[in-house]
Structure 1
Amino acid sequence: MRLMLKFTIPVEKGNQAEKDGTLGPAIDALVKQVNAEAAYFALENGKRMGIVIFEETDQARMPSINEPLFAALNASIEIQPVLTSADLQRAL
């Protein structure tokens, strides 16, 4: 199943992680761990935000994907299934 993981990082924790050099490696580890199909980064409500699209068949892996972001960046995380336009056309 294709999933979209959206994370936001509190400003103070993001600034601290950027200064101590842990921000980039934490995000890079996520992208590599899930073998991301796409990854986008922006600001949302003044906070660092990322959206990572990936395929996952084993929902038991979700804690191993989420926990490093919680621990390293105090991230808020939302995960939901998403469709490509081809998937949507097949469903309709």
Structure 2
Amino acid sequence: MRMLLNIRIPHEPFNAFVRDGSVGALIERILEETKPEAAYFTEQNGTRGAILVVDLEEPSHIPKFSEPWFLTFNADCEFRVVMLAEDLKKSGLEMLGSKWK
């Protein structure tokens, strides 16, 4: 199932990893291990953040995607189910709309 993994990264220990030069290798290691479909890095509420698109084959795989961020950066992680336009087309919205008028 396609999921949006929203990651909020606190300033520490991230700043320490930036200062010692290891942050790039740490992020690369996490991305190589988890293999997201896409990874975007951004600001979130005044802190660093990332948004990943991941394929969650089953709920037991949640730790595979979140623990590297928790353990490495003390980050907060949230998962949201997302759909492509093709998925939305298959959802039966028209039928649901007529049923729930």
**Same fold by TM (over 0.5)?**
yes
Larger radius of gyration: 2
CA RMSD of aligned residues (A): 1.6
| % identity of equivalent residues | 34
Call closer, same or farther: CA 1:59–1:5 in 2, change over 3 Å.
same
What SS class does the counterpart of residue 67 from structure 1 fall into? helix
Moved more, 74-83 or 64-73: 64-73
- Structure 1 residue 63: deviation in Å? 1.5
Structure-2 separation of matches of 1:26 and 1:5: 18
How many residues in Structure 1 have an aligned counterpart in Structure 2?
92
Instruction: Please state if 1:37 is matched with 2:68.
Output: no
What TM-score, normalized by structure 1, do the two folds share? 0.85
Unaligned runs of 5+ in 2: 94-101
8 Å CA contact retained: 1:34, 1:55: no
**Moved runs in structure 1, 4+ residues, more than 4 A?**
none
Unaligned runs of 5+ in 1: none
